[in-house]
Amino acid sequence: MIYLNGVRKRLSDEFTLSVGELHIEKGERVALIGPNGSGKSTLLRLIARIIAPDDGTVRIGADKDEVGYEPQNAYSFRGTVESNVRLGLKNGADIESVLSLCGLDGIRSKKTNELSGGEKQRMCLARMLAGNYKLLLLDEPLSAADIENSSAMSDVLIKECERAGTTLLMATHLPSQALRIATKVLIMNNGEISEYSDVSDLKSPGSEFGQKFIEQWRIF
């Protein structure tokens, strides 16, 4: 589904993203984790073709209109929750199903400038799910959600990805989301991939940095 080889992207004198090789299979749900500034967002933008690599190859087994990308602080348009979600409808998606799935029925007529941070994120995620994409690239999609909504929307993501066979890459700084949603975890450090493994292997990361980072999370 996704293949990177010899990829380099220089963003400044201090930071260059460097990926020797990365292969993500169709249907995987991958959590991108690592410190702030480690390259998670840059990697997502490269795969989304928002930016181009300076060197190397990025191949994606999906057409451009089959890829959904949501950056941090996803944009909301003027109007209501429903009108925003409708903007993402394609590939046979149904507005009523999407609103219900994401728990937005009760606020469908609410203006976007009246939404809380968590409500806005749910609306933007619903807009992504309304696209029935083959590949979803999400940058901290649930960072503003409370515990209850984060848990519910995590389950929605899993259900919808499994239903549609969607491949998911999601940057997150929340251990609970990575463990709940992901089938694999990609740990980044200083622009490089420190580790890419099954989520079950997080108890014993293979790299020294991975071990230190997971210890800081205090999840086991």
Q: How high is the pLDDT of residue 131?
A: 93
Give the span between the Cα atoms of 40 and 51, in whole angstroms.
14
Rounded to whole angstroms, how far apart are CA atoms 47 and 44? 5
Confidence at residue 208, expressed as pLDDT on a 0 to 100 scale:
84
Q: 151-155 long-range contacts, Cβ below 8 Å, gap at least 24? A: 151/176, 151/180, 152/103, 153/102, 153/122, 153/125, 154/180, 154/181, 155/180
Tokens representing residue 114 in the block: 């009246």
Tell me which fold the domain 2-74+133-217 belongs to. Answer: Rossmann fold (3.40.50)
pTM: 0.93
Residue 104 and residue 129 in contact, taking contact as beta carbons nearer than 8 Å: no
Edge-to-edge strand order for the sheet containing 167-171?
Answer: 55-60, 2-10, 16-24, 192-198, 184-189, 29-33, 167-171, 135-139, 67-70
Q: What pLDDT shows up at residue 220?
A: 59
- Asked if 90 contacts 163 with a C-beta cutoff of 8 angstroms, the reply is no
Place of tokens 């799935």: 101
Residue 163: exposure state from Cβ atoms within 10 A (0-12, 13-18, ≥19): exposed
Q: Where are the domains of the chain?
A: 2-74+133-217
Three-state secondary-structure class, residue 190:
coil
Question: Nearest CA to 137 among 162, 164, 104, 172?
Answer: 172
Count CB atoms within 10 A of the CB of residue 132: 19
Give the residues of the chain that fall short of pLDDT 70: 147, 218-220
What pLDDT score does 202 carry? 76
**What is residue 19's predicted lDDT score, i.e. its pLDDT?**
97
Residues 6 or more apart whose CB falls under 8 angstroms from that of 174 comprise 142, 143, 150
